[in-house]
Amino acid sequence: GGAMDTRRRACEAARTSLDRRKSMSNVAPSSPEKLAAGNWKMNGTSADLSILETIIRDLAPEAGAGALICPPATLLSAAAHLSKATPLRIGAQNCHEAATGAHTGDISAEMLRDAGATHVIVGHSERRTDHGETDDAVRAKAEAAQRAGLTAIVCVGETEDEREAGRQIEVVTSQLAGSLPDGATADRTIIAYEPVWAIGTGKAATPADIAEIHGAIRSALSTRFGAQGSAMSLLYGGSVKPANAAEIFAVENVDGALIGGAS
Ligand code: 13P
């Protein structure tokens, strides 16, 4: 249907512009990995899994950018099964910090890995808002991801009020400092900058806004983690769609996107 076409086109646009960028530059092994990631949020039932077959079919064998889909937890096993032995990777949207225990309704990072996930999003703004997740809680989840051998996609982003007050850099770097565990490594850590006011609003941040924040994030990461921080992938998220994907990926320190509605 229309929604599936839009999803496919957004993912294609993301990968095509990332591929083009990679082929233009001589990428050193320590460079951040390029990644187009889709976050389905609380959407999708088994009937929607066919979109994964389309995505897999359209993935170029030697694509310069990786592709990741984060379906709801109920679809992880089936999605991982469908994408087995393909370049498409499957991620979860949240995890509990503990490995096991009396936490009714929660899912541990170890369980997500067992279901076939390679990645897990932690600290998405919707979880920070809906579930009161603090930087400390997000850091514990990122640690759990690492313990389980998953790559954590750690989300940060300022609200509209914070941006209007000119506090965006301070807010984002403070979230980043509090949400990342010591010893975070580039192969197990991805940062997603998702300004709250751009999520699901159709109003993406401008390339200049993104360049400012991604530059500040890169600099904070390099200061704290050295070469590992320089090699972490930085994704932008918030109203990315086929029409704006190329200009966003052309921004310095943008290594890919975390795409909600259009994925
Ligand atoms: P939209 O692409 O729908 O704005 O959502 C972005 C997002 O929250 C991805 O995690």
Q: What is the DSSP string of 57-88?
A: HHS-TT-SEEEEEE--GGGHHHHHHHHTTSSE
Ligand 1 pocket test target in 93, 235, 258, 263 with most atoms within 8 Å of CB: 258
pLDDT at 25: 43
- CB-ligand 1 contact for 255 (6 Å cutoff): no
Cβ neighbours for 43, distance < 8 A, ≥ 6 positions apart: 72
Contact in structure between 200 and 239 (CB atoms under 8 Å) = yes
**Scanning the structure block, which residue is given the tokens 């984060």?**
70
- Per the annotation, the verdict on 214 as an active-site residue is no
Task: Name the burial class of residue 26, with classes exposed (0-12), middle (13-18) and buried (19+) by CB atoms within 10 angstroms of its CB.
Answer: exposed
User: Hey, whose CA ends up nearest to atom 1 of ligand 1?
Assistant: 260
> 259, 10 in Cβ contact below 8 A?
yes
CA of 53 to the centre of ligand 1 (A): 22
The answer to whether residues 219 and 252 touch, using CB atoms and an 8 Å cutoff, is no
What is the value of pTM for the model shown?
0.91
pLDDT, tens digit only, all 263 positions of the chain = 355 555 566 666 666 666 555 444 444 347 999 999 999 999 999 999 999 999 999 887 666 789 999 999 999 999 999 999 999 999 999 999 999 999 999 999 999 999 999 999 999 999 999 999 999 999 999 999 999 999 999 999 999 999 999 999 999 999 999 999 999 999 999 999 999 999 999 999 999 999 999 999 999 999 999 999 999 999 999 999 999 999 999 999 999 999 999 88
Residue 255's pLDDT is what?
97
Contacts of 191 (CB under 8 A, 6+ apart): 153, 154, 155, 156, 176, 217, 221, 232, 233, 234, 235
Closest atom of ligand 1 relative to the 121 alpha carbon? 10
Residues pairing with 256 in the sheet: 35, 235
Alpha-carbon span 68 to 263, nearest angstrom: 10
Active-site annotation holds for 131? no
The one catalytic residue among 96, 119, 124, 214: 124
Indicate which atom in ligand 1 lies nearest the CA of residue 241. 2
256 Rama class: left (phi>0) / alpha (psi -120 to 50) / beta: left
